[in-house]
């Protein structure tokens, strides 16, 4: 599959301090790639770098075009939706208003229909649509965050640790829905996860990060099978 997103020698800096030291990876069009690694490896930073939330050097291409010189707002409008770690919920707005914000840059007339599609993936949100988003449980807020990202009608979804702090059953449900979204909406996904086994199960390609550098890359299926790799790098 051709790549929807490509990063070449990506470097990123918090102020003067370099935190990513030349990453090269890609997300296949219509596919799923996952970034794995321990705490502090730089996974969240990578997603932030893709959205220009910090200073970057190197090349980022989206659908062939360079986007590393653009601002966050412009990148989002190109069709990249980022679900940040911690969900980023608008806690004082209602569920429905949260979804509206997700679609706020759209000028087309199909927004109403997209509401129904989002509720279709996450029926729990429909029940609570007039509720204040801050009163939702962690799992529901995660669903809301993904739904809000979908309202953008993105081509690429960046997901930062969707399993964080959630019960296993809920995590499985969310991963199931993510697979559905990928297949039915043709949304490519770049998934950052600490839960390696689930991520490798879902993804096509996998990358392993360690302190800002890529130490392993390949097909997710291959990495999942290679026992020595799994044991030494992923701990299972």
Partner 1 sequence: MESLLHQVLSGLATGSIYASMALALVMIYQATHHLNFAQGEMAMASTYLAWSLIDAGLPYWAAFVLTIALSFAAGVALERIVLRPLTNAPVLSLVIVFIGLLVIFNSVAGWIFTYTIKTFPSPFPTQPLFGGLLSGHELGAMSVTLIMLLLLYLFFRYTRLGLAMRAAAQNPVSSRLAGVRVGWMLALGWGMAAAIGAVAGMMIAPVVFLDPNMMAGVLLYAFAGALVGGIDNPMGAVVGGFIVGVLENLAGAYLIGTELKLTLALVVIVGVLVVKPSGLLGRVLVSRV
Residue 187 interacting with partner 1 (CB under 8 A): no
Closest among 201, 108, 206, 189 to 149, alpha carbons compared: 189
We find the least distance from the C-beta atom of residue 144 to partner 1, in angstroms, to be 11
Nearer to partner 1, 152 or 171 (CB): 152
We find the least distance from the C-beta atom of residue 98 to partner 1, in angstroms, to be 9
Nearer to partner 1, 154 or 198 (CB): 154
Nearer to partner 1, 93 or 221 (CB): 93
* CA Rg value for the chain: 17
Residue 88 interacting with partner 1 (CB under 8 A): yes
Residue 138 interacting with partner 1 (CB under 8 A): no
* Beta bridge partner(s), residue 219: 205
Residue 155 interacting with partner 1 (CB under 8 A): no
* Beta bridge partner(s), residue 214: 209
Please state, in angstroms and rounded to a whole number, the distance separating the CA atoms of residues 83 and 161: 9
Residue 162 interacting with partner 1 (CB under 8 A): no
Residue 102 interacting with partner 1 (CB under 8 A): yes
Nearer to partner 1, 1 or 91 (CB): 91
Q: Which residues contact 43 (CB under 8 A, 6 or more apart)?
A: 35, 36, 37, 160, 161, 192, 209
| Tokens of residue 57, six digits | 């050097």
| Tokens of residue 98, six digits | 């949260």
Nearer to partner 1, 32 or 157 (CB): 157
Here's the x/- map for partner 1, 47-66, by CB under 8 A: it reads as ----x-x-------------
Of the listed pieces 61-69, 99-107, 116-124, 184-192, which binds partner 1 according to CB under 8 A?
99-107
Contact 12, 18 (CB under 8 A): yes
**Strand segments (E) across the chain:** 3-14, 17-28, 32-37, 55-62, 65-66, 80-83, 156-160, 188-193, 205-210, 213-219
Binding site for partner 1 (CB under 8 A): 51, 53, 72-73, 76-77, 81-82, 84, 88-93, 97, 100-102, 104-105, 148, 152
């Amino acid at each position: 599959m051709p790549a929807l997103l490509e990063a070449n020698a990506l470097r990123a800096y918090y102020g003067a301090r370099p935190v990513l030291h030349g990453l090269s990876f890609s997300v296949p069009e219509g596919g799923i790639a996952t970034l794995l690694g321990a705490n502090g490896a730089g996974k969240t930073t990578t997603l932030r770098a893709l959205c220009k939330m910090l200073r970057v050097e190197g090349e980022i291409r989206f659908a062939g075009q360079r986007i590393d010189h653009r601002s966050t707002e412009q990148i989002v409008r190109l069709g990249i939706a980022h679900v940040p770690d911690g969900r980023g919920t608008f806690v004082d707005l209602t569920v429905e208003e949260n979804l509206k914000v997700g679609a706020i840059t759209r000028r087309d007339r199909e927004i109403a229909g997209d509401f129904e599609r989002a509720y279709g993936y996450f029926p729990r949100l429909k029940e609570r649509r007039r509720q204040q988003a801050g009163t939702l449980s962690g799992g529901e807020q995660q669903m809301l965050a993904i739904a809000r990202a979908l309202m953008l009608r993105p081509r690429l979804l960046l997901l930062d640790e969707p399993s964080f702090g959630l019960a296993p059953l809920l995590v499985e449900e969310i991963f199931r829905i993510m697979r559905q979204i990928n297949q039915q909406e043709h949304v490519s996904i770049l998934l950052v996860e600490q839960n390696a086994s689930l991520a490798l199960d879902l993804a096509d390609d996998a990358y392993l990060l360690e302190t800002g550098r890529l130490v392993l890359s390949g097909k997710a299926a291959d990495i999942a099978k290679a026992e020595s790799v799994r044991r030494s790098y992923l701990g299972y």
